[in-house]
Amino acid sequence: MIKNLKKQNVWFVFTPYLWLVLFFFVPLALIFKISISVSEWGMPPYRDLFSLSENGLKINSTLGNYLFIFSDPFYIRSYLNSLSLAFTSTVLCLLIGYPIAFYVAKSKPSIRNILLIMLIIPFWSSFLLRVYAWKVLLQGSGIINSILIHIGLISEPISMLHNHYAVILGVVYTYLPFMILPLYGYLVKFDLNMIDASNDLGAKPLNTFVKVILPLSLPGIVAGSMLVFIPVVGEYIIPEMLGGSDKLYFGKIIWDEFFVNRDWPIASALAMSGIVILVFPIIIFQLMYAKYNFRNE
């Protein structure tokens, strides 16, 4: 009986790893392989890494793709654009999401569930549709312009679409729940006596927030910010649908390299660099944070 149970446990432990290996490490390895291959015309559009010739096994690998993308400011600028988009939207999500999460966490349990469902309902429709809806709302003949013209605030439709503000709007709208839900998770466990205790000890509401509520909800802030920041760096669809030519983003560049220029090695090198540049700060951050969290448990 116990032996059977142990066998089951092994599967419990290994299933997630199997999933990780199959759907994360293998594709990543493939991308890495392509990123150090030499580009050529054909299908697939790169030379095999290993080829047999009269002289024996030949390795056709190159670091040229990496050298190329790091020597061209065009790629670096697009990456910085994406980082800045991710940073701005994370901050905005935090500023908008924190009060919402706090309010939901502090409402009565009966109301709380309704509010949570309202937060999650948008997920029931397709992400693509929701972003497209913003396009409809923001366009020249859209509802917002029509209303503004109708009430006489403006006479000509203002162009709200196809610029990086529209992208930020779309990103914040889409990723807000990813900020709110982890924050809610921490705030709902928050002992309200802490707030009373802080007030009682002489701290005014603002000081209570800065000295007690904020530090104690830090894990939620970190989790929510990661959930927003990381995917936004590689975000493709929102800039593509709502953005214009004023700013180019990293996701779009990778797409173009893959499908427009059909330069798979360059595209793969871009993707790999993007991951590596993000992964190291995240690992360091996670380690620091794990230490902080451990001390707090």
Partner 1 sequence: MSEPFLQIIDVSKRFDNVVALDKVNLKIAKSEIFSLLGSSGCGKSTLLRIIAGFEKPDEGRILLEGKDITKLPPYVRPLNIMFQNYALFPHLNVTNNIQFGLKEEKISKEEINHRVNEILNLLELNGLEKRKINEISGGQQQRVALARCLVKKPKLLLLDEPLAALDKQLRVQTQFELVNLQYKLGITFIIVTHDQEEAMSLSDRMAIMKNGEILQVGNPVEIYEKPKDKYIANFIGTANIFNVLNKNNQIIIKELNYEVKNINNKENYFKCLIRPEKISVKKLENQSDNLNIGVVKEVAYLGSYTKYLIDVNGFEFYSFMQNTLVSDNLQIRWDDKVQISFNETSIYFFND
Q: How far is the CB of 211 from partner 1 (least distance, A)?
A: 7
The span from the CA of 230 to the CA of 89, in Å, is 11
CA 187 to mean position of chain CA atoms: 22
Distance CA 72, CA 149 (A): 45
**Cα separation of the two ends of the chain:** 35
Applying CB under 8 A, among 191, 245, 276, 281 the residue interacting with partner 1 is 191
Treating both helix axes as pointing N-terminal to C-terminal, what angle do 143-150 and 127-138 enclose, rounded to 10 degrees? 30
Is residue 188 a contact residue for partner 1 (CB under 8 A)? no
In the bound state with partner 1, the residue whose beta carbon lies nearer, of 65 and 198, is: 198
215 binds partner 1, rule: CB under 8 A: yes
Cβ-based neighbours of 220, under 8 Å, separated by 6 or more:
101, 182, 183, 184, 185, 186, 187
Nearer CB in complex with partner 1: 43/206: 206
Which is closer to partner 1, CB of 14 or CB of 292?
Answer: 292
Shortest Å distance, C-beta 50 to partner 1: 55
Instruction: Give the span between the Cα atoms of 2 and 45, in whole angstroms.
Output: 54
User: Looking at the DSSP assignment, which residues form a beta bridge with residue 46?
Assistant: 39
Q: How far is the CB of 94 from partner 1 (least distance, A)?
A: 19
Determine if 16 is a binding residue for partner 1 (CB under 8 A).
Answer: no
99 belongs to the binding site for partner 1 (CB under 8 A): no
> Judged by CB under 8 A, which of 110, 141, 193, 245 binds partner 1?
193
User: Prior bond to 205 cis, omega within 30?
Assistant: no
Alpha carbon distance 92, 84 (integer Å): 12
**CB of residue 169 to partner 1, shortest distance in Å:** 35
| Residue 197 binding partner 1, by CB under 8 A | yes
Task: Give how many residues touch partner 1 by CB under 8 A.
Answer: 20
The number of helices, as runs of H, and strands, as runs of E, in the chain is 15, 2
Name 53's bridge partners.
56
Q: By C-beta, is 72 or 196 nearer to partner 1?
A: 196
Nearer Cβ to partner 1, position 65 or 217? Answer: 217
CA 31 from centre of chain:
20
CB of 108 to partner 1, least distance (A): 11
Q: Classify burial at 12, counting beta carbons within 10 Å of its beta carbon; exposed 0-12, middle 13-18, buried 19 or more.
A: exposed
Taking CB under 8 A as the criterion, the residue among 2, 141, 151, 200 binding partner 1 is 200
Q: In terms of CB distance, is 7 or 291 closer to partner 1?
A: 291
Binding letters toward partner 1, positions 130-159, x by CB under 8 A: ------------------------------
| CA angle, residues 99, 292, 192, in degrees to nearest 5 | 40
Among 43, 204, 260, 276, binds partner 1 (CB under 8 A): 204
Stretch of 75-83, 170-178, 201-209, 273-281 lying at the interface with partner 1 (CB under 8 A): 201-209
Q: Which residue has the tokens 């930020």?
A: 168
Residues that bind partner 1 (CB under 8 A): 191, 193-194, 196-204, 207, 211-212, 215-216, 295-297
